[in-house]
């Protein structure tokens, strides 16, 4: 199996021009992680209600991180990995302090 380089495969997706522009992309699979607090990395973020974001403490900001996944990574594969990961963490012996 050859290595998949998303940067090379989808150049227009990962390379921004010097001037802002609207770019449309084909459908893609994403792993999303949501949280509350200071946004992690580059993410979509918002606040609840109509108060401007800069007037809300960062600890109350909501964010969603989107990680583009390769086309061969399906929802079923992701769920099977989650189940496997949970199983591993449940069977590991706990370290004594």
Rounded Cα distance between 33 and 63, Å, is 8
Question: What average pLDDT does the chain have?
Answer: 81
pLDDT surpassing 80 at residue 3: yes
Neighbour tally for 46: CB within 10 Å = 12
pLDDT at 86: 57
pLDDT digits (tens, 9 = 90+) for 31-75: 888 999 987 778 899 999 999 999 999 999 999 998 888 888 888
Each as own residue / partner, the long-range contacts of residues 43-48 (CB below 8 Å, 24 or more positions apart, any chain) are none
């Amino acid at each position: 199996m050859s290595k998949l380089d998303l940067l090379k495969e989808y150049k227009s997706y990962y390379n921004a021009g010097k001037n802002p522009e609207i770019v449309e992309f084909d459908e893609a699979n994403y792993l999303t992680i949501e949280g509350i607090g200071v946004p992690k990395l580059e993410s979509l973020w918002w606040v609840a209600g109509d108060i401007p974001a800069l007037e809300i403490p960062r600890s109350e900001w909501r964010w969603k991180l989107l990680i583009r996944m390769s086309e061969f990574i399906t929802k079923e594969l992701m769920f099977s990995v989650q189940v496997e990961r949970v199983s591993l963490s449940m069977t590991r012996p706990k370290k004594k302090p």
